[in-house]
Amino acid sequence: MNKTDVLIIGAGPTGLFCAHQLGIIGLNCEIVDNLDKAGGQCIELYPDKPIYDIPAVPECTGEELTNNLLKQIKPFKVKFHLNERVEQLKKAESRWNVKTSGGKEFDVASIVIAGGVGSFEPRKFPVKECEKFEGNSLLYSIKDKSIFKDKTISIFGGGDSALDWAIELSNISNVNLIHRRDGFSGAESSVQKVKELNDQGKLNLFTKYQIDSVSGNKNIESINIKHDEGDIKEIKCDYVLGFFGLIMQLGPILDWGLNINKKTIEVNTENFETNINGIFAIGDICSYPGKLKLILSGFHEGALAARGCFKYAKPDEKLRFEFTTTSKAAQERLGIKK
C-alpha cells in the first residue's frame, strides 16, 4: 500500500506542474500514468514539434517542456508509477483507496485527474475477426521477439514502429510489410533499408494494400489483403502485427460517478473539484465555461487544484498564501540553500 497525500492520474505537463504546486505547499504526491514515460501527449503525440505558447518560453518542443517540468519537480522526489492505469477508486472513510491495473494500491486524501483525453491504448485493426486472435497470434506490441523465430510475420503500418520491427525481424523471420500507400511516415533511412531488403528478397513489401480478413482456428493461418484497386491477395502467416500508433480512451474514468460531458469532466473553477468531494480534474480532461485546451490553462488549474487538496490532506491546518521569492518554507521544500 502506497500512502501519500495526493494521487495524480496522468504525467502530462498539467499533472507534472500540479505535483510542483503540491510540493510548494508541503503536500506529497505520487503520479500514475499508463505510458512508459512521463510527458503525456507532449511526448507521445508531438515530442519534436515546437510549442510557441508557453508563457515566457518563446519556443520549445514537447520533449523539452517535459524535461524542464521533470527538472522543476526534482526537489520533491515525486514517485512515478508508469505503465499503470488506475482502475478503481473507493471511498475509505475520509480517504480514498485506489487500485491500478498492475495491482498497486494507494491510500490517499485526494485525487487529481490530469488524464488528458484518457489513457493511450494501441489502435486496432478495423476487421472484427481480429479480436479473436488478439494476444496470441495478433499483436499490437512486442514483448519477446524470440517467438517469431523462423515464423512468417505480417506487419501492418508505415511509421517507425512498423519499419523498425520489419527490419529487425527480417533477420530471424519471414516478414511481410503491408502499408496503405507508397509513402511512409517513418524515418527516411528506415524506408530505404526496407526497400533494399525488399529488393534483396529478405522481406516482402506490399504497398497500397490494407487488411481485408483474417482466418484460422486457434491461431491465425492466413490473411487476405486488398489493394486500392480491389484485387485481393492471400498471405499465409503465423503472426500479424499492427502498428497504427495509439489512441486515447477514457476507460475506467467513466465508471467513477463523475459528471462527464463529451468525454470531459465538469469542474468548478474555484478549485477544480468535480462533483465528488476530494476528486479534482485539471487540464484537457476538465470542462467549465470558457475552458481553453492549452497547457498554460492546465498549469493554472493545477495550481488551484493543489490548494484545493490541502484541506483533505491537512484538515486541521490553514493554508497560508506565500510567494516562492520570499517564503522560507517553500524554499526549504525546493531544497534551496542560502
Residues near other proteins (CB under 8 A) are: 41, 45-46, 117-118, 123-124, 126, 157-159, 179-181, 183, 185, 210, 228, 244-245, 247-249, 263, 284, 293
The CB-of-277 to other proteins minimum distance in angstroms stands at: 29
Q: Which is nearer to other proteins, 103 or 183 (CB)?
A: 183
Residue partners of 74: CB distance under 8 A and separation at least 6? none
The CB-of-204 to other proteins minimum distance in angstroms stands at: 19
Q: Which is nearer to other proteins, 73 or 211 (CB)?
A: 211
Contact criterion met (CB below 8 Å) for 182 and 207: yes
Q: Which is nearer to other proteins, 297 or 331 (CB)?
A: 297
Contact criterion met (CB below 8 Å) for 197 and 225: no
Helix locations, 86-229, DSSP H? 130-133, 160-169, 188-199
Q: Which is nearer to other proteins, 46 or 275 (CB)?
A: 46
Q: Which is nearer to other proteins, 150 or 188 (CB)?
A: 188
> 29-33 and 79-82: which strand pairing?
parallel
Contact criterion met (CB below 8 Å) for 212 and 228: no
Contact criterion met (CB below 8 Å) for 297 and 285: no
The CB-of-228 to other proteins minimum distance in angstroms stands at: 7
Contact criterion met (CB below 8 Å) for 284 and 118: no
The CB-of-95 to other proteins minimum distance in angstroms stands at: 32
DSSP 34: S
Of the chain, the end-to-end C-alpha distance in Å amounts to 37
Q: Distance between CA atoms of 83 and 87, rounded to whole angstroms? A: 13
The CB-of-239 to other proteins minimum distance in angstroms stands at: 21
Q: Which is nearer to other proteins, 145 or 180 (CB)?
A: 180
Secondary structure of residue 192 in the 3-state scheme:
helix
The CB-of-124 to other proteins minimum distance in angstroms stands at: 8
